[in-house]
Chains A and B, each alone.
Chain A
Amino acid sequence: MPTIRVVNLKKYFGKVKAVDNISFEVKDGEFVALLGPSGCGKTTTLLMLAGIYKPTGGEIWFDDQLMNNVPPKYREIGMVFQNYALYPHMTVYENIAFPLRAKKMEENEIKKRVHDVAKKLMIENLLDRKPGQISGGQQQRVALARALIKQPKVLLFDEPLSNLDAKLRMMMRAEIKKLQEDLGITSVYVTHDQAEAMTMASRIVVFSRGKIMQYGTPDEVYRKPKNIFVATFIGNPAMNLIRNLDYIKEKGKAFLVSENLRLELPEDVAKKIEESKNSGKFILGFRPEDAKIDQKESDMGFWAYVYVLEPLGRDLIINLKVIGTEELIKIFAEDEVNIKKDEKVFVKLQHGKIHIFDSETEELII
């Protein structure tokens, strides 16, 4: 299976820069997710990998072969489309057989292969139905079968699960991942669902407006987001942000302050800030699970009012209004907390679990 290398890839539609100078690599047999909000250029990137769109600039390599001018049929790609793109007038059997017919394969061999792949995906009993006569989840399997039947070297998925209900999505998620691991096919998986990207991919390309915001493992993009976009896009609920903070030093101690808020910083954090090139304004970020509620003040944290409680069965999300900034934050509660609406509580942050971004560039400082 090839290693895919994308170098300075661009695709412009007139003035729209759908994909704007991106580079990333997908290793042999790796499962990489392209994650980003609607309209950020994910599908465009995928269609360039498939050879449907010609890049405006840049290069696509499969191993050491430049693919820019290789037509789709010679790329040995299987693709699953968002709406499955099953041919409505053909039976499931004919749909799956289509890529083999295009190769003019012998009828016996086609039959054998279709039944093999149908068995693997548990759709053998649907072979003589039309796509309109099976459910969304079953159509999804048929689309997968059609992509797999020609034994491709690269698999491309364009939001394949977005039309399924939540439960089915979870199931298919695991199934696709297992299938990919078993077959070891280099895969690129487009999605706007961060849970999908986090659970399935070994690395995630986070996209925004045609540009790559970060490329890393699920853990990296979660634990060390490179900028505000990644920090807030990944994680549910999103990372809490407190904006518009100034950095000051008093009596050898470092603080992030706004009008009514004062947050003492550990020494190593202060040092990083001083060493960085910055605009003088900062954003503090922390994940909902990295803060604790306390009744009394301690060294690193701030006071807030309880605004709304959101019970989730197993978890409880506490919405708080930060005193002094009026900003809303969300925090996962400890097991048996006993707090009430409008109560004043101290939000205690954990050393090493806060992120500080520059206000202007929105890039991570520490």
Chain B
Amino acid sequence: MKGKGKVWIFLTPMVVLVVIFFAIPVVLTAILSFTNMDYTFRWDFIGLGNFKDIAIDFVIPKVLLNTLIYTFTTLALFNVGCALLISLLTTSMPDRWGSFFRTLWMLPRLTPSVVYGILWLWIFDPTEHGLVNFIRAQMGMPPQDWLHQAPMVMIIVANGFIGASMGMLIFTAAIKAIPTDYYRAALIDGASWWMITRKITLPLIKWQLLFVTAYQTLSLLTSFEYILIITNGGPTFRTEVWALYTYHMAFSNYRFGYGAALSVILVIIGIVFAWLYLKMFKFEDLMQKPKVEVD
């Protein structure tokens, strides 16, 4: 066998999996979003009914705002910001220390997510048994009820600490792949650490920056397990994000049709962001011609 036929043989298993576990659910969700299916599992097509309900749902503006704050603060401060900072710092120090610090940041990834969520509940426990309040007590300060004081900060920090590790790995690998001679040349030419970072390192890891930003935006938009464990969206919708709201609608209130409509909108939001990033990073410039030309 030769040519195109062989390609299909290799691709088929993957294509089948994608169809069963991705394409079909997506189509079903899309269909579901035009129905009023509830806990009785009976359903009628109601056209754009669910979407009209979303437009007048009084919780939605709050949920939308929460989602944006949560996604972009976590992204900027941790998943990209902190990840980049750690990569830049740990690659500027002797490798022994660099590896040590990076391993430290990997630890949350190695912890099961429920354990990790509960860990943060303990850290922010409102009594003096919680880590933060314990430290405050040592300094003579009264305990605080963090869940009511700053629930958004809690979920951002908890997510950020675990989310930074992926960016860190990718950025570090990218920085280490930059030829050492670029840095030597720059040092001899008198460039400062800041100039080297801005003019050499960052432009050369642009592609990885785009990838991590886009990937993490989508993953922050759609994932909610830590929020579920730590605040469950509360108190009173203060940390209710879109994905969690979808989950609550579908699986707490059993409004499957409404939940499906919410997730369809989330997918559209995700696509819009992905498209924006590609524009922002001038994706066409990054896509080089193939290095090897074959038919």
- The yes or no answer to A174 lying at the interface (CB within 8 A) is no
- The yes or no answer to A47 lying at the interface (CB within 8 A) is yes
Instruction: Knowing A102-B192, A102-B195 are in contact, say whether A85-B187 is a contact too (CB < 8 A).
Output: no
Across the interface, name the chain B residue whose C-beta is closest to A100: B189
Is the CB–CB distance between A99 and B179 below 8 Å?
no
Assembly CA distance A88 to B204 (angstroms): 8
Chain B residues with Cβ below 8 Å from A277 are none
- The yes or no answer to A103 lying at the interface (CB within 8 A) is yes
Chain A residues with Cβ below 8 Å from B181 are 81-83, 85
Number of A-B contacts (CB under 8 A): 60
A70-122: which residues lie under 8 A (CB-CB) from chain B?
71-73, 75, 77-79, 81-83, 85, 87-90, 98-99, 101-103
- The yes or no answer to B39 lying at the interface (CB within 8 A) is no
Instruction: Knowing A85-B179, A87-B200, A102-B195 are in contact, say whether A47-B190 is a contact too (CB < 8 A).
Output: no
Return the contact of B190 from the options A52, A83, A102 (Cβ within 8 A): A102
- The yes or no answer to A50 lying at the interface (CB within 8 A) is yes
- The yes or no answer to A5 lying at the interface (CB within 8 A) is no
B199-236: which residues lie under 8 A (CB-CB) from chain A?
199-200, 203-204
- The yes or no answer to A348 lying at the interface (CB within 8 A) is no
Is the CB–CB distance between A50 and B184 below 8 Å?
yes
CB distance from B209 to the nearest CB of A (A): 13
Chain B residues with Cβ below 8 Å from A51 are 187-188
Is the CB–CB distance between B189 and A47 below 8 Å?
no
How big is the B interface, by class?
10 to 19
Is the CB–CB distance between B189 and A98 below 8 Å?
yes
Chain B residues with Cβ below 8 Å from A355 are none
- The yes or no answer to B175 lying at the interface (CB within 8 A) is no
Chain B's interface: helix, strand, loop or mixed, by majority? helix
CB distance from A205 to the nearest CB of B (A): 21
Is the CB–CB distance between A73 and B190 below 8 Å?
yes
Is the CB–CB distance between B188 and A50 below 8 Å?
yes
Instruction: Knowing A81-B181, A83-B181, A85-B182 are in contact, say whether A73-B188 is a contact too (CB < 8 A).
Output: yes
- The yes or no answer to B191 lying at the interface (CB within 8 A) is yes
Instruction: Knowing A50-B184, A81-B181 are in contact, say whether A89-B203 is a contact too (CB < 8 A).
Output: yes
How big is the A interface, by class?
20 to 34
Assembly CA distance A103 to B181 (angstroms): 20
Is the CB–CB distance between B187 and A103 below 8 Å?
no
Across the interface, name the chain A residue whose C-beta is closest to B206: A89
Is the CB–CB distance between A98 and B179 below 8 Å?
no
Is the CB–CB distance between A73 and B185 below 8 Å?
no
CB distance from A232 to the nearest CB of B (A): 32
Chain A residues with Cβ below 8 Å from B153 are none
Assembly CA distance A75 to B179 (angstroms): 23
Interface string of A59-73 (1 = CB under 8 A from B): 000000000000111
Chain A residues with Cβ below 8 Å from B77 are none
Assembly CA distance A323 to B74 (angstroms): 83
- The yes or no answer to B166 lying at the interface (CB within 8 A) is no
A199-239: which residues lie under 8 A (CB-CB) from chain B?
none
Assembly CA distance A71 to B189 (angstroms): 11
Is the CB–CB distance between B189 and A81 below 8 Å?
no
Assembly CA distance A47 to B179 (angstroms): 15
Interface string of B125-145 (1 = CB under 8 A from A): 000000000000000000000
Interface string of B166-200 (1 = CB under 8 A from A): 00000000000001011011111111100100011
Assembly CA distance A95 to B225 (angstroms): 48
Is the CB–CB distance between A89 and B184 below 8 Å?
no
CB distance from B193 to the nearest CB of A (A): 12
Closest 6 pairs (CB-CB, A-B): A73-B190, A85-B181, A99-B189, A102-B190, A102-B191, A85-B185
Known: A81-B185, A103-B190, A146-B189. 14 other contacts (CB 8 A): A51-B188, A77-B188, A79-B185, A85-B179, A85-B185, A87-B200, A88-B204, A89-B203, A90-B199, A98-B189, A98-B191, A101-B199, A102-B191, A150-B190
A-B contact pairs, 18 of them (CB 8 A): A71-B187, A72-B187, A72-B190, A73-B188, A78-B188, A79-B185, A81-B181, A81-B185, A82-B181, A85-B182, A85-B184, A87-B182, A87-B199, A90-B199, A102-B186, A102-B191, A103-B190, A146-B189
